[in-house]
Amino acid sequence: MLAQLVVSGIAQGVLYALVALSMTMLYRATTVVNFGHGDLVMGGAFAVYVFVVYLRLPYLAGALIALAVLFGVGVAIHQGLMRRIMTGPHLAIAMMALAVGYALRGGARMLWGREVLPFPRIFPDRAWAIGDVVVTSDNVIVSGTVLGLMVVLLVLFNVTRIGRLLQAVFQSQRGAALIGLNVDGVHRLVWGAAAALAALGGVLLAPITLLYPDMGVWVLVRGFAAMTLGGFGSLPGAVLGGLILGVMELVLGAYLSTAFIDISAYVIVIAVLLLRPDGLFGRQVVVRV
């Protein structure tokens, strides 16, 4: 029973981890917490829906184009909106992120109304039993894609030139600017990449769940919770936070009551922050004077 919960929880948690990781990247590079990130996940799901269902492209091609489109959306959000208010107060940036997400949701609702869209089944419908643990092909494909991608990101981040550029900006925007690095270019790139990673969540979710304009809220809350749980700004923390959250949700739901699934993310975050105000893997925040 517990083993099954852990396996299913991880399959769920990789999606939270993906959202949390992309939000954390964005936060580290630009200090923006994107409260509209869930709606980029929704955007990815609806984009792949358009390409696969309306334009009859194969799933893989549709998925890649959807990611490219959302990359563009991310760059546009930075260029057109965020860049202009970056020097303003935190509250204005938070409001802007919420408003952008709200606009995306409004756009989806205008086009598709309140109906819930089913997506054709793409992944093979299979399941394997290992002992008494059942693993479905959905689990394998989603977790495999996300975990594989994380390995690729880890390598890119530590080996390539762009990776080192990113690390410099993560450490200090001012320092990176002082030594002549193109910080604005990095911001643009990271906005695009973060939006594309969020969209990947949507692309992977689309064949598994139903599509509706508000689907992002649910993901944003979990992603944000995972990010906080892992310690705000920590990349490995975001991934671990997502996995822990996914498992804990199912475990609490199974052993306490299924009613807790809706709020266990919140309960876990409150409990962790009261005990460890900087998250599980976070460092003490330095006070700026």
Partner 1 sequence: MPGAAPVSVVRVPTLGRWVFLLVPLLVLPVPFLVNRYIQYVLNLILVYVLVGVGFNIVIGNLGQLAFANVALFGLGAYASGILVVHAGWPWWTTIVPAGLIGALAGILASLPALRRIRLFYLAIMTMAFGELLRWIYIRAEPLTNGSMGLAVPPPVLLGLRLSSDRSKFYVFLVLVVVVVLLTSSLLRSRFGRAFMAIRDNELAAAAMGIPTDRYFVLAFAWSGFVVGVAGAMYTALVGHVTPEAFNLLELILHFAVVMVGGLASLAGSVIGAIVLTTTPELFRSFPGVQELVLSFVIIGVLLFLPRGLVSLLARRWSVFHERYYRE
Give the pair of three-digit tokens for residue 8.
């299913």
Please report how close the Cβ of residue 187 comes to partner 1 at its closest, in angstroms. 17
Per CB under 8 A, the segment of 122-130, 134-142, 162-170, 278-286 that binds partner 1 is: 278-286
Look at residue 211 and give its three-state secondary structure. Answer: strand
The amino acid that residue 277 corresponds to is P
Q: Does 277 bind partner 1 (CB under 8 A)?
A: yes
Site track for partner 1 across 180-219, x = CB under 8 A = -------------------------------------x--
Site track for partner 1 across 233-262, x = CB under 8 A = --------------------------x--x
Give the pair of three-digit tokens for residue 40.
């980029």
Per CB under 8 A, the segment of 5-13, 59-67, 77-85, 155-163 that binds partner 1 is: 77-85
Among 3, 60, 99, 116, binds partner 1 (CB under 8 A): 99
Among 1, 60, 90, 118, binds partner 1 (CB under 8 A): 90
Look at residue 68 and give its three-state secondary structure. Answer: helix
How far is residue 137 from each of residues 8, 143, 145, 196, measured CA to CA in Å? 12, 10, 12, 24
CB distance 282 to 237 below 8 Å: yes
The amino acid that residue 270 corresponds to is I
Q: Which is nearer to partner 1, 92 or 155 (CB)?
A: 92
Q: How far apart are CA 10 and CA 143, in angstroms?
A: 8
Q: Does 10 bind partner 1 (CB under 8 A)?
A: no
Among 54, 56, 91, 161, binds partner 1 (CB under 8 A): 91
Q: Give the DSSP H or E segment for 171.
A: helix 161-171
CB distance 36 to 102 below 8 Å: yes
Per CB under 8 A, the segment of 78-86, 144-152, 165-173, 192-200 that binds partner 1 is: 78-86
Kindly give, in sequence order, each residue whose CB lies less than 8 Å from that of residue 240, ignoring residues fewer than 6 positions away.
17, 230, 280, 281
Q: Does 129 bind partner 1 (CB under 8 A)?
A: no
Query: How many amino acids of this chain bind partner 1 (CB under 8 A)?
Result: 48
Q: How far apart are CA 99 and CA 103, in angstroms?
A: 6
- Write phi, then psi, for 127 (nearest 5 degrees): -145, 145
Which residues contribute to the site for partner 1 (CB under 8 A)? 33, 81, 84-85, 88-92, 94-96, 98-100, 102-103, 105-111, 113-114, 217, 221, 224-225, 228, 232, 259, 262-263, 265-267, 269-270, 273-274, 277-279, 285, 287, 289
